[in-house]
Amino acid sequence: MKDLESMSLKVENGKLFVLDQQMLPHQEDWIESKTPEEMSKIILDLKTRGAPLIGVSAVLSLALYAEKEPHPEKIMAKAELLRSSRPTAVNLMNAIDRVLEVGQKTQWDTLEITKEAENIFEEDVELCEKMASIGSQLIKPNENVLTHCNTGGLATVGRGTALGVISKAYENQKGIHVYVDETRPLLQGGRLTTWELESLGIPYTLICDNMAGQLMSVGKIDRIFVGADRIAANGDFANKIGTYSLAVNAKFHKVPFYVVAPFTTFDKNCPNGKEIPIEQREPDEVRGVKGSFGKVVWSPKNAETYNPAFDVTPESLVSGYVLDKGLFKASELSKAFEN
């Protein structure tokens, strides 16, 4: 496999490395993933995360495995293991399906499998650029935009989805300011989006998730951009927990609310949001926090919790979908993703 490099995933001399996102922003630890088992655990633990990034991470891991163990049954078994790492982001399943299809079509030619995994990496970079240039045109000079979770270079191998749009608008001298939802429970906004915005020099203000509605009520938010983990055929979409509340608030306050996603996030076989599988996570993530700053449990040790990693936002709350092919409405999605 050739060398590949991105903000938090790289291949060097045939070895796969992941920037441990659980340790950001205070520690930058690159860890090696030697096997699909290790990668599956890395994905489950959110050391690598973000819908496009977990798809790319999984197929690089699978292709490296295939190079060492070129046996179809073994490759398919590892593919299933990787596929089961997390259930909601369809990019993971879509990327694995693509690599397996190439395997099947080429009598499991490992050169071809590797090439497809590399293509998926390089394609993601291009998709991000396309979404950024389309979406950034929606932003007017000096606007305050709000975003949720982390959708930047840490969630893709390119410049990101929603955060890519925002950074492009900044690059285009729009003079923007970003409100960043901290994104409980795992703080992808507070730890990761802030880290990216700092390094890009983009002005931002970090807020707790429950402050977004108040900011909208006083007219401080001009536009909201979020990513997606799975978009159903009718436009309903799953994204990080908290997205739905933002969308409801945005509708009430008439703040334009955009979803930014590449075609790899579309699930044409999923008719609507009710059919999207939602990952439930460990209670301890809600009882406290842990990271490079240490570990705190602030609730009673065995407090009952509810911890869905994602929620579903109905298409009726979305102002537009910024895709790699243009800006679309929900009713146009199936067609847009087909071509």
Residue nearest to ligand MRU (CB): 227
Question: Closest Cα partner for 51 from 208, 162, 146?
Answer: 162
- Please spell the DSSP secondary structure of 288-302, one letter per residue: EEEETTEEEE-S-TT
Cβ-proximal residues to 253 (8 Å cutoff; 6+ apart), any chain: 213, 216, 217, 221
Residue 49 as a binder of ligand MRU (CB under 6 A): the answer is yes
Give 228's Cβ-side CA count (13 Å radius): 31
Catalytic residue numbers? 229
CA-to-CA separations, 76 to 19, 167, 204, in angstroms, rounded: 26, 38, 44
Residue 311 as a binder of ligand MRU (CB under 6 A): the answer is no
Phi, psi of 91 (to 5 degrees): -55, -35
Of residues 161-200, those binding ligand MRU (CB under 6 A): 161, 188
Question: Judged by CB under 6 A, which of 117, 212, 309, 318 binds ligand MRU?
Answer: 309
Residue 155 as a binder of ligand MRU (CB under 6 A): the answer is yes
Q: Which is nearer to ligand MRU, 108 or 225 (CB)?
A: 225
Of residues 242-301, those binding ligand MRU (CB under 6 A): none
* Residue 327 β-bridge partners: 322
From 73-81, 96-104, 222-230, 285-293, span contacting ligand MRU (CB under 6 A): 222-230
Query: Residues 224, 257: contact at Cβ < 8 Å?
Result: yes
Residue 90 as a binder of ligand MRU (CB under 6 A): the answer is no
From 70-78, 111-119, 148-156, 298-306, span contacting ligand MRU (CB under 6 A): 148-156
Question: Judged by CB under 6 A, which of 4, 24, 47, 52 binds ligand MRU?
Answer: 52
Give residues in contact with ligand MRU (CB under 6 A): 46, 49-52, 89, 149, 151, 155-156, 161, 188, 227-229, 239-240, 309
